[in-house]
Each structure stands twice: as structure tokens, then as C-alpha cells.
Structure 1
Amino acid sequence: MTFLPTSIPTNFSEAIHGAQNNTTITNCSPGPESGWIITAVPVYILVISVLGIVFNVFVMLVFCLPKKPCTVAEIYLSNLAATDLMLMTCLPFWAVNVSRNYRWTFGLFMCKFVNTGIHMNVYCSIYFLVLISIDRYLALVHTMSLNRMRSRKCAKLGCLLVWGLGLLLSAPTIHYRGLRYENECTSCILKYESEHTRLVFNVIRTLPFIIPMFIISYCTVRIIKALNNQFLEELNGQRIDHKATKLLLAVLLAFLICLLPFHLLRMAGMLWRAGILSLNIQSFSICSHIFMYLALFNSVLNPILYVFVGKNFWKTVRDTFRQWCS
């Protein structure tokens, strides 16, 4: 007899705790095929949480502690590190939740708070990449005409708007996330009023990713074309520094590798719910776990890229170390 799931993990928080109602876990009692989830996933989450916290705190200290003002690129990258840090601090709660067979023991407030932090990272990270892409686009493609838009004041205002937008898009999570008590088990789940509400909610969560991906793709293509034009290396007697652009392209490539499969799979789940797409539920559930764990690793990979790709980053580290020593 085949048990079809009543819920498919279509976001970080649903995928992390297995959506409680899927084929492998029901009513806080794991099925025989979910043993690797209960044993291996908490260890994986805790490892990347520790690494992510250490690396992103280090990045934020390097960007924020020096006495000299941050550049526009550093403002965006430090905010990207901040949202990655927020995600990393929320994940240990889910590691404990998974290790306890998906029994939530942290109360209603933390149920909403942790999921809101996870959702804000999902939204804010992609919009910070949009800001970074636009900044590099203006620096290389519209160097003279629109260069005044690349000011620290505009960068800070843009970051403030992204944080506000992330919180606004996470508002449905605050509203619908709650506790379910069943068979002496407490679960932290999304409690929709109806299947129609679930579908609308999934559409609202998916649309904010479509436009940013078009913007990022357009800016990246134009940036690559600009880099291929040798005359851009000499403009008004000044050589253009491509270090920040190389770092941007590395961060974007990491985003595509780690997060794009997850977002595409989430869209596929939404189409499945709408009856438009047919899916193998068991395969979909396994892929949702794998792609979600790959997506989480992106928050650890970003600060590593700053170190190995961002040559200016090491210069900032040395300057900061000299300030501390003096």
C-alpha cells in the first residue's frame, strides 16, 4: 500500500524537518527508510552551523571593524554575511528537532522565530545578490553616466529595503507557522486554513525569486560582455580593478550551484500541488532533502570565496590586524 504525502517540503524549514506529514515521517514517528535522516542530518546541520557562524562572524568583523569606511561592495557583502549568519544561528534548533524524531520542544515563539529567520535568509540573500549584480553592472557598463548611484548612502538604503522586504515576505510564515499536538507529540508545522490558502502561499513565496533571477542573469551577461572588451581596462587614464567583479561572479556561480536546484524543485512542487505536473513522490522527497542540504552549504561557501577569490579581502584583514595590534 502506497502512502501519498499530504505535505511536500517546498522551503528550507519544511524540508529540514521533513514536513512531518511526508512519506518518511508521520506523527513524529520515523519510517524505516528515514533512519539516515535522524542520524546523519543533525550532525551535518550542526557542522555547517558551527562553520557558518565562525566564518561569517569573521567576515563581518573584517568588514565592520576597520576605521576606514566600507566600500559599496563591502556593504553588500557584509549584509549578505549577516543574513547567512542569521540562518546559521537558526539551524541548530532544527538539528535538535530532527534528532528528537521531529518533536519540537522550544515553544510557539521559537517555532515562529526560527522559521522566520530561515525564510528571511532565503529572500534577503537573493536580493542582496541582486544589489551586488546591479552595482557591478553600473561599475562596468555605465561607468560614467550612472556612477553617482553607486554611493555608500544608496547602498545602505538598498540594504535597509532588502531587510524590510525580507521581513514582509516572511509575514505569512509568522502567521501560519504553529504547533500541532497529536499522539503526545508536539510538531512545528505550517497550519494552513485550506488547500487553496496553501497554494496561494506557495505562489507568493515563489514569485519573489523569478524577477531577481532575470535581473541577475541580465546583469551577469552584460558584465561578462564588458569584461571581454579590452577598452574598458583603460578609461580616463585609470585602470579598472576587476577583483570585485571576479568575486561577484564567484558568489553568483556558488549561488547557482547550491540554491538554483532547490528553488527549481520548489517550483516543481508548487506545480504538482496545482495538478499541472506529475511527480514521483518518493524521488521528489529524496531530492528535496539533498538539494536543501546543498543549499544550506551556500552560507558556508560564501565567506570561503571572500578569502580565496577576494584579494582585497586579505588586504583588509591585514589592515584590521595591524589596527588591533596597535
Structure 2
Amino acid sequence: MESLLNSTAGPPFPADLLNGSSDCPGWPPVPQSTLIPALYGVICLVGIVGNALAVYVLAQDGRARQTVANTFMLNLCVSDLLLLLSLPLWAVYYALGFHWPFGRLACKLCGAVLHLNLYASIFFIVCMSVDRYLAIVHPLRSQSCRDPRRAKVTCGVVWGLAWLCTTPTLVLRDTSHYETLGVEVCAMFYPHENWYQGLAWMKIALAFLLPLVALSSCYCVIGRHLLAGAGRGARLGGPPGPPDSQQGHGKSERPPGASVEAERGAHAAGSRRGRSLEGGGLERVLWTVAAVVLAFFLCWFPFHCLTLLELLRSHGVLRGCLLDWCVHNLTALALCLGFSNSAVNPVLYCFIGNHFRGRLGALCKGLCACLSPRGELGDQKRGSFSTRLSSFSRKLSDLKDLALVEAPGIH
């Protein structure tokens, strides 16, 4: 006998939503058939515009300007776009009272896309965080491993792992006619309750807890490293020196095999980074770093918290009307908040950066430059027509004056 336990595996199962508050009189249900489609529409519009613009700008870079960070960023934007393009179908699903009119194949694919983004996006965010850690804390030692070709291989591994985690959803999600409500639902059908519990724990661990630990660790070390460099520069009366330099005995430690030129380059890079982090630069970097972790936590913590509460409820550990109402009514809203992270990502990783904004401005100027010759050509045509008309008017006036002078008998 298959069980329908779907409230934290995607869009909730309608029977739970419509009948969940019947045991708790006085707890009104959330109007999800109107609220959720509106929220999905806003997230879809803002997210598609931001991610599409980010993909366009990143794709314009030639091979010479491809970096590890841009490779991860481009794949993250593609993952978010896949999710955002599926949201209109789920909005229709809610608006029709949990009726899926798009068929069995679309149900499986859209459910798989949700989980694919759930895993792929956070995996790419972790990869970008590790890359930033290596670039800031170990700039010289990480030059060999921070290669765009290796980054592309890493992206392939991330997509493979995300698809592997998504396979159960692709297999178990299906359509079924729900006679009580007269709708065709798109839900998860688990062969046994252990399947539901195992996949839910996997989702909490791989898509939230472990990535949160990795993000927090990377950015704590980055923040401590930047603050230590700023303090060392302040004590020396100048910009912070290279991360691996030792100022005490006038000697610098360099890894075996590193040339003097490479060491000088690292010192110069450290000095430039120190000057760039003077004043408000350091504070701006730290705030950006904090915003990355905070945005991920705020967007996905409510959803995974409700997933955990439902697991505890299924084990009989927690009970009560308030718990039932929260799981039945707030899961879909928490999922909306998690999806909004796909709209926030391009702002945090692309548009805040000066380099990205500079490239975006250059593309806009190039577009304006392409459009301006057409406008100038039209102005030239209009000006040429006006000049010819004015010349023709002057000639006509001269002919009239000549006719008046030469015509006999006119006084």
C-alpha cells in the first residue's frame, strides 16, 4: 500500500492542506490557491530577469577572461533559471486547487527540477565559497588548483551528484486522481514510510546542515584573515602585507620551488589587496560575506525546520494542533521563501561586485552605441530632406522675383 507523504517533498498534497485544520477548530487555513501563485509570479519575474542578465554578461567573456568564480557563478545561474522556469506550472497547480493538467511526464520533470535546484544551487554556492577561501587566504599556494578547466570538471561532478540525489524524486513522483476533491494531483508516492524518512533526513543533511557548516567555516576564516591583515597593516603604518609574509625578522617564507619573481608578485598582489581593503573596502567585503551566509540561512531554514518538525510528528515525538497547522499551512510558504534564494543569488554574487557591474555597464554602452548610428542615420536623412526642401524653396522664390522683374506691362 503506497502512502502519500508529500508536504516537504515539493508542493504539498491537497488532502493535507484542505483537511489538515479540521482537527483544530479556530485555526483558519492559509488561502494558498491565491497567495502562492502571486508569490511564485513575483519570484519568477524578478529571478528570471536577474539570472538571465547574469548569464548573458558572464557568457560574453572570452576564454582569456574565464575564471573559476565566473564558471561556478554561471552554473549557479543556470540552475536557478531551470527552477524559475518551472514555477509558472506550479503556480497554475495551486491556482486550480491542486489539479495538475500538464500530464505525468511534466509532473515528474518539474518535481525533479525542484530537487535538482535544491541540491545543485547549494553545492555551487559551497564551491564558490571554497574558491574564495583559497583565493583570499592561500593566494599563492592555490594558483595551481584554481584553474578554469578544473572548475568545469568540478561543475560536472556537482551536476552529477545533484542528479543522483534527485533520482528518487524522478522515480517516486507521479500523478493520481483524487476522487474526494475531483482533481489530478502531482505527488510523491512512497512505497514505505522509511523511504520518506530517509529522503527527508538526506535532504536536511546534504542540502542544509553540511553546506551551512561549510559556508560558515569558510567565511569565518576569511573574515578573521582579512581583519588580521588589516590590523597588521595598521600596526606597520601602511597597507596590510601579504597573507604568508613574516615581518618579524625581515624574511619571507615561500613554498619550495617558488621563484623570487613569484614571491614579489605575491607581495605586490597583497599590497594591492591591502590598499583595496583600506577604509570602507574591508567593511564592504565583510558585509558581503555575511550577507551570503545570512541569505542562505534565512531563505532555507524555515523549510528545513518544518521538514524536521514533520519527521518528529511522523515518529510521534511531537503532537498538537499548532504543529499540525504549521506543517499543513506554512510548508508551501516556506518553500516560496526557499525559492526566493534563486532571485537573491545574482544580486549577491554578480551585481554587488564592481567588476561585474563594470562589464554590465560596458555592455549597455555597447548596446547604446549600436543603436545610436541608426538614430543618427535617421537624423541625417531628415536633415538632408530639410536641406533639399529649403534649397528648393529658395530657388522657387528667386524664380518668382526674376519673373516679376522681367514681365512687361506690370507696374
Answer yes or no: same fold by TM over 0.5: yes
Question: Could you tell me the TM-score, scaled by structure 1's length?
Answer: 0.87
**Contiguous gaps of at least 5 residues in structure 1:** 27-31
Whether the 8 Å CA contact 1:72–1:155 is kept in 2: the answer is yes
Shift of 1:120: 0.6
**Corresponding residue SS for 1:187:** strand
1:84 and 2:83 equivalent? no
Which residue, 346, 349, 352 being the options, matches 1:303?
346
1:10 and 2:8 equivalent? yes
Alignment of 1:14-93 (within 5 A): 14=11, 18-24=12-18, 33-34=28-29, 36-67=31-62, 68-93=64-89
Report how many residues are paired.
314
Shift of 1:73: 1.4
- What residue in structure 1 maps to residue 103 of structure 2? 107
1:234 and 2:232 equivalent? no
**Match of 2:168, as an amino acid?**
P
Shift of 1:179: 0.9
**Match of 1:138, as an amino acid?**
L
Distance 1:129 1:248, change over 3 A: farther
**Corresponding residue SS for 1:102:** coil
1:266 and 2:262 equivalent? no
**Match of 1:312, as an amino acid?**
H
Shift of 1:158: 1.3
- What residue in structure 2 maps to residue 29 of structure 1? none
Computing the radius of gyration over CA atoms, which structure comes out larger, 1 or 2? 2
Whether the 8 Å CA contact 2:51–2:77 is kept in 1: the answer is yes
**1:174-199, CA deviations, whole angstroms, 9 ceiling, x for partnerless residues?**
11001111324211010111222222
Distance 1:146 1:278, change over 3 A: farther
**Contiguous gaps of at least 5 residues in structure 2:** 21-26, 234-239, 243-266, 371-411
- What residue in structure 1 maps to residue 257 of structure 2? none
Alignment of 1:152-301 (within 5 A): 152-183=148-179, 184-209=182-207, 210-229=209-228, 230=230, 231=232, 233-235=240-242, 236-238=267-269, 239-240=272-273, 247-278=288-319, 280-301=323-344
**Corresponding residue SS for 1:170:** helix
**Match of 1:214, as an amino acid?**
V
**Corresponding residue SS for 1:147:** coil
Whether the 8 Å CA contact 2:36–2:332 is kept in 1: the answer is no
Shift of 1:113: 0.4
**Corresponding residue SS for 2:187:** strand
Whether the 8 Å CA contact 1:79–1:128 is kept in 2: the answer is yes
Distance 1:173 1:42, change over 3 A: same
**Corresponding residue SS for 1:145:** coil
Shift of 1:127: 0.6
Whether the 8 Å CA contact 1:8–1:269 is kept in 2: the answer is no
**1:117-174, CA deviations, whole angstroms, 9 ceiling, x for partnerless residues?**
1111100111111101111111122222233211111211111111111111000001
Whether the 8 Å CA contact 1:180–1:187 is kept in 2: the answer is yes
**Corresponding residue SS for 1:21:** helix
User: Whole-Å Cα distance in 2 between the matches of residues 182 and 285 of structure 1?
Assistant: 18
Whether the 8 Å CA contact 2:99–2:184 is kept in 1: the answer is yes
User: Whole-Å Cα distance in 1 between the matches of residues 165 and 156 of structure 2?
Assistant: 14
Distance 1:147 1:66, change over 3 A: closer
**Corresponding residue SS for 2:340:** helix
Q: Which moved more, 1:238-247 or 1:279-288?
A: 238-247
Whether the 8 Å CA contact 2:30–2:329 is kept in 1: the answer is no
**Corresponding residue SS for 2:66:** coil
Shift of 1:322: 4.8
Shift of 1:8: 5.8
Whether the 8 Å CA contact 1:6–1:21 is kept in 2: the answer is no
Distance 1:271 1:220, change over 3 A: farther
- What residue in structure 1 maps to residue 391 of structure 2? none
Q: Which moved more, 1:64-73 or 1:86-95?
A: 64-73
**Match of 2:306, as an amino acid?**
L
Q: Which moved more, 1:167-176 or 1:39-48?
A: 39-48
**Corresponding residue SS for 1:10:** coil
Shift of 1:216: 1.5
Question: Could you tell me the TM-score, scaled by structure 2's length?
Answer: 0.70
Root mean square deviation of aligned Cα: 2.7
Whether the 8 Å CA contact 2:76–2:124 is kept in 1: the answer is yes
Whether the 8 Å CA contact 2:190–2:196 is kept in 1: the answer is yes
Whether the 8 Å CA contact 1:10–1:266 is kept in 2: the answer is yes
Shift of 1:308: 5.0
Distance 1:116 1:245, change over 3 A: farther
**Match of 2:336, as an amino acid?**
Y
User: Whole-Å Cα distance in 1 between the matches of residues 202 and 18 of structure 2?
Assistant: 27
Which residue, 129, 146, 161 being the options, matches 1:150?
146
Whether the 8 Å CA contact 2:108–2:173 is kept in 1: the answer is yes
